[in-house]
Structure 1
């Protein structure tokens, strides 16, 4: 992705917007908060049953864990693998904007029973994100583990815009809420809709754990039963993201 060119194209597309014309300073402020991200989706199948497009990861499945790395658990119960992402396949999509390891696989685990303690903020510790070498053989699931049938994921680079409720827009929102809501909604409507998103901003108007930014947001797919939950997202501290540390990632549950 040529991030600067993509933002410039979005700015040009908004030239006919009455909201943008009425608030050029606000427009530039929101555009300055645009982030690169990767949209992930389960692809349509070709005639021979193969995914229609290069596979950049998997929703569910079994993890490739190196010897000596235990299957993550929460209070003795094995977590569920929600997603596994191929860093080498994804990194070229964002080029210099890529903020994650350039190789290996990222594994996203979640407490299937949602019993983790939320504590004082919206996040909880019922998750684990592991960065492991690529090509590891699949680990057999331990007893009691829920295994989601593996679904391939294809990826595309997309822009992501903040919601009007983000703290970065709090000052202008308090001054002119209607104008901010209208312009932000129009900008978000002009960007692609994705089912799952890596990096960027959250698609739902949620406020994640304090001091953290979205890492991966997932919606339920085939083989997943979340009841009233409509999404599970993983959040990371900015300094941890820059350093490639995933030991303090927290989870947020989006309830309908």
Structure 2
């Protein structure tokens, strides 16, 4: 995988300009592979997209929360993404449709009573529902190395081991984010989440799908604002928990 060699080299050069070898090695050990979902410029993914025609298993009822129909966010084809980069924390096959109560008031995922405010729908076959489609964003998937946000507990531990690292890391993290995401919302599968606020509770859930605010799709979670679907190891995809972070 030439991309990972090139990105590790770039990270080593970036952080090596400010830190000694011990810190650089520690940072590189934290880097996690992920997939950047970006607007397709050519040869879009065929089974993975954001927006567009809603899909559900045949005969399934439209998901709702407190009497409100949920909004269709998109569909992910895990086999299609695994062909680009196999992420061990994600399924290697199957598809899932993502729904969320996007209007206000909306669930933040900080209350178990909100559990029906989102849905990850899987099935033997997801079919178009015939409901009105919203804007659609065809996607390409690009692998990259994600870094933990400065708010993550692992950075507090790094600062404890190497005093004075964190303020510089914050600037280098921002530079790396600009390199990875130069001009698009931060839609992502796997890897470290691009946090907006202090970290989500450490509940052993791994990032499944991160969706940013996106004017192209009419999504406004905050300024900035992102939603994160997360799952535990060996947990079914439809058990994913959602967290909204917004300012």
Superposition TM-score, scaled by structure 1 size: 0.76
Q: Distance in 2 between matches of 1:30 and 1:124?
A: 36
Structure 1 counterpart of 2:175: 189
Structure 1 counterpart of 2:9: 12
Matched, 1:103 2:89: no
The ranges of structure 1 where at least 4 consecutive aligned residues each deviate by more than 6 angstroms after the TM superposition are none
CA offset at residue 108 of structure 1?
1.3
Matched, 1:254 2:240: no
Could you say what the CA RMSD is over the residues aligned between the two structures, in angstroms? 3.1
**Any idea what SS the aligned residue of 2:167 has?**
helix
CA offset at residue 40 of structure 1?
0.8
How many residue pairs were aligned? Answer: 237
CA offset at residue 170 of structure 1?
1.5
CA contact (8 A) 1:123 1:252 kept: no
Q: Sort the Cα spacing of 1:16 and 1:225 in 2 relative to 1 into closer, same or farther, 3 A.
A: closer
CA offset at residue 161 of structure 1?
0.7
* Aligned pair partner of 1:82 in 66, 73, 78: 73
CA offset at residue 89 of structure 1?
1.4
CA contact (8 A) 2:70 2:118 kept: yes
Structure 2 counterpart of 1:47: none
Structure 2 counterpart of 1:215: 208
CA contact (8 A) 1:209 1:235 kept: no
Matched, 1:169 2:166: no
Which residues of structure 2 form unaligned runs of 5+? none
CA offset at residue 162 of structure 1?
0.7
CA offset at residue 128 of structure 1?
1.3
Q: Sort the Cα spacing of 1:186 and 1:175 in 2 relative to 1 into closer, same or farther, 3 A.
A: same
CA offset at residue 186 of structure 1?
2.3
CA offset at residue 139 of structure 1?
0.8
**Any idea what SS the aligned residue of 2:180 has?**
coil
CA contact (8 A) 1:208 1:235 kept: no
Which residues of structure 1 form unaligned runs of 5+? 45-51
